[in-house]
Structure 1
């Protein structure tokens, strides 16, 4: 896969569709590699006439790891100073735009990726054509809360072996995935194995988590956003409660809110057509 030099880092990325078509950059969530945007999903979006780019955030997958910044102690989460911010992660995306020659692009992000997309709208509105925020929140601590079971998946100690890490990942998927669209054991094992064998990096995930937990509430800033926007959330999300999506849509002028019954904190294949349709609608909306 190619790498782009962006914001002083190297970002691993992959593109789908015709480069002459309008670009859509997909931003993944906490500790999640770009392959979590499944190939079939990216191809489906490309079929709608877009040049689709997925990439690994800093400190994840095959992009630059920043281990020299140290590994946060879980006991300090949200209290110690973060080694970098969501704005830094948003700047990485703009650096990717520059490396790929995108003056402007549509963006869609899930979870932390949704937070990054929101930050892009605040910090770099002139570089965006539209935004889609999926299973994310505004940073207001009163909304988008995490259930105790889901929180435990974030703070558990890293597994000490490949086999243990795969089993841990499967258990985590069972906790936070979509109850209305349960995945097979075979698929979950494939997904967990693929992620582990491609690049496992728990320290980077902890640094990303620090960026989330120390981020300011974006609500008031989002009220000033005048970009076409669609907000998507599942009503069964244990990682970020659906109130996070509702608050995001309420903050952005004229944003469309899509609530998907039975969807948790993942992107189940049966919902791909609805998710892609939501992203496409964002690209077709008029600015607020």
Structure 2
């Protein structure tokens, strides 16, 4: 792992493969760390002939945290938005997008294939729309457009996500059980849920950095950014939208809306996949990313 300074913050990143190859930049999801893009996934992608970079978003992992800024009160945030006013939040998806471009700048990468999952997909979409000259191709996985008319997360999933977790410093067992229950619920039924691998990942994230406030601040960044469909309509890079048929957190209609909003985007619905990327699907997803990246050379 290395740390770079950009956009007035520190960003932690890893790099796989040869620096001489085209870059695939992987953007992590809400409240999660770059290690969710597992080493086997990154190595398999790099073996296709790419330099693969994963990094911690601001407020996650080993990148800069904004602990001095309290997470917004979600009730007050919603009320302000409903009243048509812009809430005061620590940062926006625009700031997180600037982090991505700043990372490319520091690493002297002119253009990259940008791949994002969940929140990372939203950031990837904005990079492709606001900085078209920096994006060779776009892959948006289990993400959405901000369209307010789309279906919301299943109520029990939302309740699980918003329920306060035990503090791992005093109750690590309880925290792991809480996190496993949520991970199992959103994983979808089409593939075996590997509880032990998930447990190892949860513990690794705790040991790298535990900051529940970062999750809240990232949610606020999503909320104030709103509907992005007009931006998506300007994207010119070859685009693939991947979604799971059993995603209870960001329903499949959100992926369909993303693909419909981006000119000439391909939509790939994976049967049985939830809001998760299990090892059984690595080959399928990597094939699709590689295929989309290949379109950039003929675009």
TM-score, normalised on structure 1? 0.96
Show the counterpart of 1:5.
Answer: 5
| CA distance in 1 between partners of 2:124 and 2:66 (Å) | 22
Q: 2:261 aligns with which of 251, 264, 267?
A: 251
SS of the aligned residue for 1:285 comes to helix
Give every structure 1 segment of 4 or more consecutive aligned residues whose post-TM-superposition deviation is greater than 6 Å.
none
SS of the aligned residue for 1:258 comes to strand
The equivalences for 1:92-107 within 5 A come to 92-107=99-114
Name which of structure 1's ranges 93-102 and 178-187 shifts more when overlaid on structure 2: 178-187
Q: 1:262 aligns with which of 257, 272, 275?
A: 272
| CA distance in 1 between partners of 2:279 and 2:174 (Å) | 26
CA apart distance, 1:194 = 1.6
| CA distance in 2 between partners of 1:236 and 1:55 (Å) | 27
| Cα pair 2:126 2:231 within 8 Å, conserved | no
| CA distance in 2 between partners of 1:208 and 1:6 (Å) | 19
Give structure 1 stretches of 5+ with no counterpart.
Answer: none
Corresponding residue pairs, total: 288
| CA distance in 2 between partners of 1:102 and 1:43 (Å) | 20
| CA distance in 1 between partners of 2:151 and 2:48 (Å) | 31
The equivalences for 1:1-288 within 5 A come to 1-78=1-78, 79=80, 80-143=87-150, 145-160=152-167, 161-286=171-296
CA apart distance, 1:237 = 0.1
CA apart distance, 1:68 = 1.9
Name which of structure 1's ranges 69-78 and 194-203 shifts more when overlaid on structure 2: 69-78
| CA distance in 2 between partners of 1:188 and 1:15 (Å) | 23
| CA distance in 2 between partners of 1:71 and 1:223 (Å) | 32
SS of the aligned residue for 2:52 comes to strand
| Cα pair 1:234 1:261 within 8 Å, conserved | yes
| Cα pair 2:113 2:137 within 8 Å, conserved | yes
CA apart distance, 1:77 = 4.4
Name which of structure 1's ranges 120-129 and 131-140 shifts more when overlaid on structure 2: 120-129
CA apart distance, 1:158 = 3.1
Q: 1:169 to 1:10 in 2, by over 3 A?
A: same
| CA distance in 2 between partners of 1:164 and 1:62 (Å) | 24
Q: Deviations over 1:206-235 (max 9, x none)?
A: 000111122121112211211110000000
CA apart distance, 1:82 = 2.2
CA apart distance, 1:144 = 5.1
SS of the aligned residue for 1:102 comes to coil
CA apart distance, 1:97 = 0.2
CA apart distance, 1:257 = 0.6
Give structure 2 stretches of 5+ with no counterpart.
Answer: 81-86
CA apart distance, 1:154 = 2.6
| Cα pair 2:5 2:11 within 8 Å, conserved | yes
TM-score, normalised on structure 2? 0.93
